[in-house]
Structure 1
Amino acid sequence: MENPHTYRALHILLFYLLLQFSSLHFLSLAYEVQEKYFVNCGSDANENLTGRNFIGDLKPDSFSFSKKSEIIEGSSNLTTSSLYQTARVFSQQSYYSFEITETGTYLVRLHFFPFSSPSRNLSTAVFDVSDSEFILMSNFTAKNSTGNSAVIKEFFLGIISTDSFKLYFTPQASSFAFVNAIEVFLSPSNFTPENYSSSFPLHTTYRVNVGGPKLTPDNDPLWRNWDTDDSYLSDPNAAVKNQSSALNKNYPGENDGLVAVASNDSVAPDSVYQTARAMNITTSRPANSSNITWSFSVSRNAGHIVRAHFCDITGAAPGNVVFNLYSNGNFRKEIGSVNNTISQHPGVPFYYDFKVSSSESELITISIRPNMEDATDKNAFLNGLEILEIMEGKASISKDESKKVNVALVVGSVLGGGLFLICSFIIGFMLCLKHRKVKKRSRGGISHNLGLKIPLAEIRSATHNFDPKLQIGVGGFGYVYKAILSNGTKVAVKRCKQEGQRSGQGLPEFETEILVLSKIRHRHLVSLIGYCDEGSEMILVYEFMEKGTLRGYLYDSDEPRLSWKQRLQICIGSASGLEYLHKGAAGGIIHRDVKSTNILLDENLVAKVADFGLSKSGPLDETHVSTVVKGTIGYLDPEYMMTQQLTEKSDVYSFGIVLLEVLCGRPPIDITVPREQVNLAEWVMFCKKQGLLEEVIDSTLKGQIDPSSLRHFIETAEKCLQHDSADRPTMADVLWDLDYALKLHQTETLGESHEDSTTTASSAFLLPTIQRFPSLGSTITGADEMESTESEIFSQLRIGDAR
């Protein structure tokens, strides 16, 4: 069978060849948009939006759309732009077609505004969007849009044929697809990271003006949005804002390898380079133990291109500021060294691009830290960040519509003739591999029949062919549906996302879940009813948990809030399930993703731990398992995160965070609250120091918790959150302590005078020094494929983090 890694390896080879040999000439002239289409969908009117003239798609032009569509108009009281008051709706796979006369990398933006009309509620639409080869958006819905803001999705697509280019809209099941406006235009030469990444489309996931204000499309020559970086900073106190109006775009030298001068505002507006974040060096925060870290939630199992923007506006002498750039703790680039002459010139805007390799990560962290050996001025700075996801999911297009091959441009005029021949050969070889038939993938890990296989036909029948109306949840692996099997059993069906099915990225998690759940049975662990692996499908079927997640009963829904007794019983049940995993299951199992959304409740509010796709099996008697970091930021054990050494105590730490959630009724990371309250553990620690623990307790619990029970509960959480895993209790100890806290609550009379008042309990809560975690709740694996890793540099990293 063809090696499935061969094709990817060739992509990586080509990527590095291009990085090593390309000379990225900077843009010297202002960019004017060349071939372009701006489409006002479902209208015969032209609309102007920030300098772009959107032409009604009912007018004759050099684009067309499938006739299998209808027009929907919003109500007259819509206060949004006229561009978003009409939409074209598709009830079956349909497309827009654009005539292309010039090849190159095109920027494509799709605008979605989910208004409601008498005939359609656009917020209920569920659909895919693709080009002729790759999925751009899978199971997309715009129902989360709020206010008068449209959802805008941006992509970079390479078009190598002067032919028609098509965008396909494919409704899911009985749903429909829609679009309000489309932009398709040729991007500046050598502008996009696609020139030196791979042959896949790119999706812009983040574009951040570091240290500066939000920039709207009218402030950008390519009509881009730039967000502020405030919500992505792990520790806002580690950075200060810098600002300068002086830019030097007349740099006389050459580009330095992978670092390129941004001499034109099509790379980024001047305002991006005129603001920055620099180190906040103080007596209590010395440069040798400080860094600035930004955290971004991203798609699991997807590669990403990162562009970091720099301009030295610190005021230091040229060449005095030398610092290191990291992603997920791995060294990337030294900025300001003698090898980077660009960065030794103040006011010269430049950028650096790199790839974060595919993994199971749902987090990218970008960090900067002074180089203590080479820097005269101990500082580091960053002006902007862009993160683009590499879209590798294969599209499913009707045969009569699949003739066009849309592959991103990889070789540009910047390459020398010899390298061009080398790259052409590699590209040709990759394309040959790409179109060879690949045999059905082997699932050796579950090839034996466990007696749990369920026919796909029965699952389709039970879910009404995966009707979106039966969808009750979504996670990193896939979508969850409520269903009833033919024997009357009520179940939850988890189906791997299409991109995971096509690429095989969800296979390890799928196999792990089956192998773990097939050998364990416990009252407080969710049971696996069966699975299906027919064709490309990967489906898991579980017992149905009527009440949903613990998080839903704490703060994430309108469900009635739980009493203190109910919360303690749920914690005890969860701890019992985890203790069984650690010591009672065959060989021992570390869950590795303990969090409130993975604790489910049945109709009687009995807790059951779920989601074992990241679990690790093996003997756990105080041994360390070396593994890439997996789990959810906000819950991750800091020792495991730094050392990649996994023990059962990592589950204990995560469970300690769950205990704080249970007490306080809020998530571990909440970017909607004041900055000092974002990290729950740090906020609780602060309130403890101030003797104000009662301020963080869930308001629905006040007056009903016995102080002795509260104190014992908090002491239990404290022990779980110890930085050193050796200082944490076992889950058996945690179970005993929680059971004791429940007994204290049941035997004491509420409201009676005690020595242990809530305030006393607050002062007794001696939280450990908690590692600051990134400020986004996202599942990660922390092992990028890198040429070098400076783990010792991050040994004292204080990080402050969904999907």
Structure 2
Amino acid sequence: MGGDHHRPPRAVYVSSLFFSLLLLNLEPSFVYAKRGRVLSDPPAMSPAVPPVASSSSTSPFNPSDDYFINCGASSEAKLDDGRIFKSDTQTSSYLSTNEDVSTTTDSIPESAFTNSTPSSTMDLYKTARIFTSDSTYSLFISKPGKHWVRLYFYPIRHEKYDLKTAVFTVQTDKYVLLHDFSMDDSKVVLKEYLVNATKHFSIIFKPQTDSFAFINAIEIVGIPDELLSDSASSVPQGNTVNGLSDVAFEVLYRLNMGGPLITPKNDTLDRTWVPDGPFNVFPQGTEDVIGRHIKYRPDRNVTRLVAPDMVYATAARMTPDAYAQTISPNFNLSWAMKVDGTFSYFIRMHFCDIVSKAKNELYFNVYINQLMGISGLDLSEKAGDLKTAYYTDFVLNASSITNDSITVQVGPMTNVNSGTPNAILNGLEVMKMSNIADSLDGLYSVDGSYKGPESSKLKIVAISGLALAFVAMLFLGVICVRWKKRPQDWQKKKSFSSWLLPIHGSKSYYSTRKSSIFGSRKSKSGFSSIYSQGLGKFFTLQELQDATENFDDKAVIGVGGFGKVYIGTLDDGTNVAIKRGNHGSEQGINEFETEIQMLSKLRHRHLVSLIGFCDEDSEMILVYEYMANGPLRDHLYGPANKPTLTWKQRLEICIGAARGLHYLHTGAAEGIIHRDVKTTNILLDDNFVAKVSDFGLSKAAAMDQGYVSTAVKGSFGYLDPEYFRRQQLTEKSDVYSFGVVLFEVLCARAVICPGLPRDQVSLADWAMQWHQKGMIDKIVDSKIAGTICEGSLKKFTEAAEKCLAEYGVDRPSMGDVLWNLEYSLQLQVASLQANQPEDKTNNIGLEKGNETGESDPDPDVAVTVAVVAESDDSNVTVGSQVPFSDAATIEGR
């Protein structure tokens, strides 16, 4: 325990401005205020009317552990909020260091303090402890678990050490809090963390070589149990992220919407809440609201410890003019905050309906980075009553962050008839989440090892550096010979640099090195690249322009993140699909290179074949075999003119896709994780044979450790929650996505439907709920509901349910999934033969379709499908010359 570091119990203080507003006898019980001023004249005060319910008598929180350490000081520092920071010389048993170096100053300029670091804490920054070698504060924790860790920094003057030049790392036993941290002397810095503290907890300071570290004060305090749950909703809405108790957090923003600054003096947990004004994107459309008599629901883990009354008793809402005068037909209240886009973030939003006169009047939507967080939030219903505190938590993955910023929005629902369209927000907290390295600052773990996605390549890069330099010298020699033999009209052709280096457009050297891994291609200049060998046919830009009538929009058959897809006809009459990348996209360059590298090594009946490519004149163009019947999704809930797929046909399509994925995982030389399995990436040829496509996000599996550490990418609704949470990609991530595909095929609905009630938004969650009830037949696509035999449906849904297990280790392999799907098909075929022929209305032949559209009805072929399933796919090589039939044989069970 903290021993004599416990602070005395203290009441909750209330700022005079806010307290006076709470005492007003107002009808109704709220007032409106523009930013910084009250709009209406205050009525006479009525002492008989109580202020915010029980706010002045809130029981103080007494943590099991609280350490307040004034570093480098000779005496304690007492703050106006009741905290007493003891000198670390008085607690020397906590500190392990080789030197006793400290410094002190008489004063710090007021300009060094901000709202988030009020000057009331000035005494903490007047002294500092300096470390020239690794040093540790070791503390005993009586109740292990989440604790606040607050670190106070200000580089005060020392005659020998210039603290402004200090560079150092701060870490706990498990987490890196700061890596190579340094600062100037303009502002004080308070770093606030929420980390797991073990029984013997350490704060370790590690100076960089030839540098030193320092700290002014340290605070370590346990938190109440109800403050943080183990789970939160993902963004966009639909899935739940679990395991938050194993994550460390750094508090970046804590905003009090519509209210004043709240200092530790007014917060039982010593938090600072700053006014939201500086972060409000459109303050002209915002008004502040103040309410009274806030209620809490301890039975729902909502108490005054979650946030003080002063947060829930104020709110920001839309001005009447903002909606009535139609500033924008889709106007939302918006707050924008700068963040590090390489991390994921925990976002807590605080709500309390202090504006409505009756329940169920206020409905609004919640958005984070333009992604749906909550659709149709009925605040009074969620909280249980009006003026009742409520909060909700979200996790925003790094892949959803652009321009290093997070934008939180609330906006009215216009399609409801209750109340006036509006939206409110009372408080907001944004916390950075620790990454794969258990770090909150970079990708180095506590042992100094690099945990980034490129860590396995560092040695290769270092070793290959000299070799690349040698090749470059030889290449320059060839250039010089060719330069002597340049044609007379060389000025009119490619410039010297364009075939010396893979120059694309006017990008910088670094950018152009990334833009092509193949060098310049064969062109009118007569030169060709040796690097394109084995990577498919190189098409000239003119050939592809001719094939698509100069990329006529009439030839567009699809549009994706990479660019447009055209149907084209080559000189020999072959139809092809031509995917043309967007210009200037670095992400497009990465996908372009990955697609060629992957597909040039892969050949399989159930993978879309890459025919060739073109990277001439800054272009990124991929040429594939043409899939006449397009994406599977279009045949499930696409255009109305698409005939309905029968259950047997859907099974055969799923089996084909499963074979393709199983081949990627086990038949390829090093194993490949697709990373973006979804129904738009399962294409159907003219015989409705399924083929997996789009390998732009694919990764080679790291067979030695079983996963690939990488930033989360993919498509929402299909993302593996374990991959989302841990940023560790495995083959089981594809299995999870394929499980979503199976339910999509069964139910024929989109995987994310923001307009539906929250429990139905995510197809995966919705389908699992019905499966657990034993009523999965209730959500089957109505067009085929009566045609599926019970055994086939049971085996199919069992396979899908196992794919969606929370943890990858509990999911089956794609081989197991394939076996179950083939078994499901056998049961369906046997049922059809035993009862009556399948309804042939609107059927589509999957193989050699006959006049009615049915597949070959030969019973021997159908019944033995599980045994001969791989016969069409065998003898396919990938890198090593191992036939797929040998690498992935389906065995009976």
Which has the greater radius of gyration? 2
TM-score (norm 1): 0.45
**TM-score, normalising length from structure 2?**
0.41
